[in-house]
Amino acid sequence: MTVLSEAGSAPTHGGRRAIRRSPYPGWFFLPAALIYGVLFLAPTFASLYFSLTRWTLFNSTFIGLDNFAQFFREPFLVQGLVNTVLYAAITSGLKVVLGMLLALLLTSAIMGRGYLRSVVFFPVLVSTVGVGITFTVLMHPTQGMINETLALFGIKGPGWLVDPRLALFSVALVDVWKGVGLATVIYIAGIVAIPKDYYEAARIDGATRWQNFLYVTLPLSRPATATVIILSFIGGLRTFDLIWAMTRGGPGFASDTIASVIYKQYQAGFYGLSTAGNVVLFVLIGILVVPLTMFLNRKQGHE
Amino acid sequence: MAGLELKSLRKSYGEVEVIKGVDLSVTHGEFVVFVGPSGCGKSTLLRMIAGLEEITGGDLIIGDKRCNDVEPRDRGIAMVFQSYALYPHMSVYDNVGFGLKLARAPKEVRDQKVREAARILQMEHLLDRKPSQLSGGQRQRVAIGRAIVRQPEVFLFDEPLSNLDAALRVDMRMELSKLHHDLGATMIYVTHDQVEAMTLADKIVVLNAGVVQQVGSPIELYQRPANLFVAGFIGSPKMNFVELSVEEVGTDTVTVSGKDIGPTTVPADPTSLKPGDAVTLGIRPHDLTHQSSGNLVGEVSLVERLGNETNVSLRLPSGAAWLAVLDGDHELRIGQSLPLSFAPARAVIFNASGIALHRKHTGPQIPGSIAEA
Amino acid sequence: MKSRPSIFLGIIAILVSALVFLVPFAFIILTAFKNKQQATLLDFSWPDGFHLWSNIVEVVTTRNWMMVTAFINSTILTVASVTLLVVFAAMVGFVLARRKTRWNGLIEFLILAGLMIPPAVVPTIWLLQGIGLFGKLHGLVLIEVAYGLPFSIILYRAFIATIPRELDEAAIIDGARPFDVFFRIILPLLWPVTVTNIVVQSVGVFNDFTNPLYYLPGNANATVQLTLYNFQSQFNTSYNLLFTNILLITIPPLLVFLFFNRHIVAGMTAGAVKG
Q: Give contacts of A 97-136 with C, CB under 8 A.
A: 105, 108-113, 115-116, 118-131, 133-135
What's the CATH code of the domain at A209? Answer: 1.10.3720.10
pLDDT score for B189: 95
Instruction: Examine residue B371 and state whether it is found in any structural domain, yes or no.
Output: no
Higher-confidence residue: C75 or A144? C75
My answer on whether omega of the bond before B267 falls inside 30° of 0, hence cis, is no
Instruction: Identify the domain boundary among B203, B224, B245.
Output: B224
DSSP B207-225: EETTEEEEEE-HHHHHHS-
**Mean pLDDT computed over every residue of chain B:** 89
**Sequence-separated (6 or more) residues with CB below 8 Å from residue B169:** B161, B196
Grade residue B365 by pLDDT with cuts at 50, 70 and 90: very low
| Residues in chain A within 8 Å Cβ distance of C125 | 57
So what's the pLDDT on residue A252? Answer: 83
Nearest to B218 by CA among B205, B239, B238, B204: B204
* Residue B140 in domain: yes
Could you tell me how many CB contacts below 8 A there are between chain B and chain C? 54
- Closest residue, chain B, to A4 (C-alpha): B14
Higher pLDDT, residue A154 or A35: A35
- Domain assignment present for residue A21? The answer is no
The total of structural domains in chain A comes to 1
A109 and C4 within 8 Å at the Cβ level: the answer is: yes
Contacts of A120 in chain C (CB under 8 A): 17, 21
| Residue B149, in any domain of the structure | yes
**Measured distance CA(A270)–CA(A276) in Å, rounded:** 10
- Rounded to whole angstroms, how far apart are CA atoms B248 and B257? 10
Is the pLDDT assigned to residue A65 strictly greater than 80? yes
Sign of CA dihedral A276, A281, A285, A287: positive
State whether B266 and B127 are in the same domain: no
Contact list, B71 vs chain A (CB under 8 Å)? 20-21
What pairs with residue B20 in β-bridges?
Answer: B10
Question: Is position B287 within any domain?
Answer: yes
Rounded to the nearest 10 degrees, the angle between the axes of helix A75-107 and helix A222-238 is 150
Same domain, B202 and B265: no
Residues of B in contact with C173 (CB under 8 A): 50-52, 72-73, 77-79, 99
CA distance A83 to A146: 24
User: Residue C10 carries which side chain, given as an amino acid letter?
Assistant: G
Whether C95 and A118 lie within 8 Å, measured CB to CB: no
Cα–Cα distance for residue pair B107/B125, rounded to 1 Å: 20
Contact in structure between A177 and A266 (CB atoms under 8 Å): no
Q: What is the pLDDT of residue C272?
A: 55
Tell me: the pLDDT tens digits for B189-224?
999 888 889 999 999 999 999 999 999 999 999 999
Q: Is the pLDDT of residue A300 over 70?
A: no
Of A249 and A83, which is predicted with more confidence?
A83
Closest by alpha carbon to C28, among A245, A133, A147, A242?
A133
Whether A155 is in a domain gets the answer yes
Average of per-residue pLDDT across A38-61: 89
Mean per-residue pLDDT over chain A, rounded: 85
Closest by Cβ to A20, choosing from B57, B58, B71: B71
Contacts of A11 in chain B (CB under 8 A): none
Task: Express each pLDDT in B254-291 by its tens digit.
Answer: 999 988 888 889 999 888 888 989 999 999 999 999 88
Residue B290 pairs with which residues in a beta bridge?
Answer: B340
Q: Are the C-beta atoms of residues C39 and C239 closer than 8 Å to each other?
A: yes
B290 and B215 within one domain: no
Q: Is the previous residue joined to B160 through a cis bond, with omega within 30 degrees of 0?
A: no
Helices marked H in chain A: 30-36, 42-50, 66-73, 75-107, 113-121, 128-138, 145-152, 167-192, 196-204, 209-212, 218-220, 222-238, 241-246, 258-267, 271-302
Residues 6+ apart with CB under 8 A from C225: A127, A129, C74, C206, C207, C208, C209, C212, C249
Domain presence at residue B346 = yes
Question: CA of A215: how far to CAs of A203, A303, B354, in Å?
Answer: 12, 12, 56
CA B240 to CA B285: how far, in whole Å?
7
pLDDT the model gives residue C101: 84
Give the number of residues written for chain B: 373
What pLDDT sits at residue B368? 41
Pairing of strands B296-305, B264-267: unpaired
The DSSP secondary-structure symbol of A51 reads T
pLDDT of residue B127: 93
Half-sphere exposure in the Cβ direction for A159 (13 Å, CA): 7
Residue spans of chain C under pLDDT 50: 1-3, 274-275
SS3 at position A145: helix
| End-to-end Cα spacing for chain B | 38
pLDDT score, position C17: 86
Distance from CA of A153 to the nearest CA of C (A): 16
How long is chain A? 303
Average pLDDT of B125-140? 92
Q: Confirm whether A13 is domain-assigned.
A: no
> What is the percentage of chain A residues whose pLDDT exceeds 70?
91
pLDDT (tens digit, 9 = 90+) per residue, B310-363?
A: 999 999 998 899 999 999 998 889 999 999 999 988 999 999 999 999 887 554
The verdict on residue B293 lying in a domain is yes
Q: Report the Cα A188 to chain-centroid distance in Å.
A: 19
| pLDDT the model gives residue A302 | 44
How far is A194 from A150, CA to CA, in rounded Å? 42
CA dihedral for B167, B169, B173, B176, sign (positive or negative): positive
Tell whether B366 is covered by a domain: no
Asked if C95 lies within 8 A of A105 by C-beta distance, the reply is: no
Q: Are the C-beta atoms of residues B83 and B158 closer than 8 Å to each other?
A: no
Using CB atoms, pick whichever of C44, C128, C146 lies closest to residue A35.
C146
d(CA B171, nearest CA chain C) in Å = 24
Beta-bridge mates of residue B156 = B79, B188
pLDDT confidence tier of residue A299, bands split at 50, 70 and 90: low
Domain total in chain B: 2
Q: Do C173 and B89 touch (CB under 8 A)?
A: no
B18 and B140 together in one domain:
yes
Q: DSSP letter at B159?
A: S
- For B327, the domain range is 237-350
- For B187, residues 6+ apart whose C-beta sits below 8 A from its C-beta are B30, B31, B32, B154, B155, B156, B157, B180
Dihedral over Cα of C29, C32, C38, C43: its sign? positive
B191 and B320 fall within a common domain: no
Q: d(Cα C191, Cα C196) in Å, to the nearest integer?
A: 9
CATH number of C66-274: 1.10.3720.10
Tell me the pLDDT tens digit for each residue of B28-43: 999 999 999 988 999 9
Enclosing domain of residue A163: 66-302
**Backbone CA torsion sign across A51, A53, A55, A60:** negative
Percentage of residues in chain C having pLDDT higher than 90: 43
State residue C4's pLDDT score: 56
What CATH number is attached to the domain comprising B66? 3.40.50.300
Rounded to an integer, the average pLDDT of A91-116 is 89
Rounded Cα distance between A251 and A165, Å, is 9
Give contacts of C 15-54 with A, CB under 8 A.
Answer: 17-18, 20-24, 27-28, 41-44
Q: How far is CA A180 from CA A84, A123, A228, C47, in A?
A: 19, 9, 10, 31
Instruction: Tell me how many residue pairs between chain A and chain B have CB atoms under 8 A apart.
Output: 22
Contact (Cβ atoms closer than 8 angstroms) between residue C44 and residue C26: yes
Contact status, residue A303 vs residue A219, Cβ threshold 8 Å: yes
Rounded to a whole number, what is the distance in Å from the CA of C256 to chain A's nearest CA? 9
Give the per-residue SS3 of chain C. CCCCCEHHHHHHHHHHHHHHHHHHHHHHHHHHHCCHHHHHCCCCCCCCCCCHHHHHHHHHHHHHHHHHHHHHHHHHHHHHHHHHHHHHHHHHHHHHHHCCCCCHHHHHHHHHHHHHCCCCHHHHHHHHHHCCCCCCHHHHHHHHHHHHHHHHHHHHHHHHCCCCHHHHHHHHHCCCCHHHHHHHHHHHHCHHHHHHHHHHHHHHHHHCCHHHHHHCCCHHHCCHHHHHHHHHHHCCCCHHHHHHHHHHHHHHHHHHHHHHHHHHHHHHHHHHHHC
Is B54 part of any domain? yes
Angle at B153 between CA B150 and CA B159, to 5 degrees: 80
**Cα dist. B89→A188, B94, B105, C189 in Å?**
31, 9, 21, 7
Kindly state the helix (H) or strand (E) to which residue B203 belongs, with its residue range: strand B203-208
The answer to whether the Cβ–Cβ distance between A9 and B10 falls below 8 Å is yes
Q: Which of B10, B54, B68 sits opposite A3 (nearest CB)?
A: B54
pLDDT number for residue A178: 93
How high is the pLDDT of residue A62?
A: 87
Contact of A7 with chain B, judged by CB distance below 8 Å, is answered with no
d(CA A233, CA A179): 12
The predicted pLDDT at position A11 comes to: 36
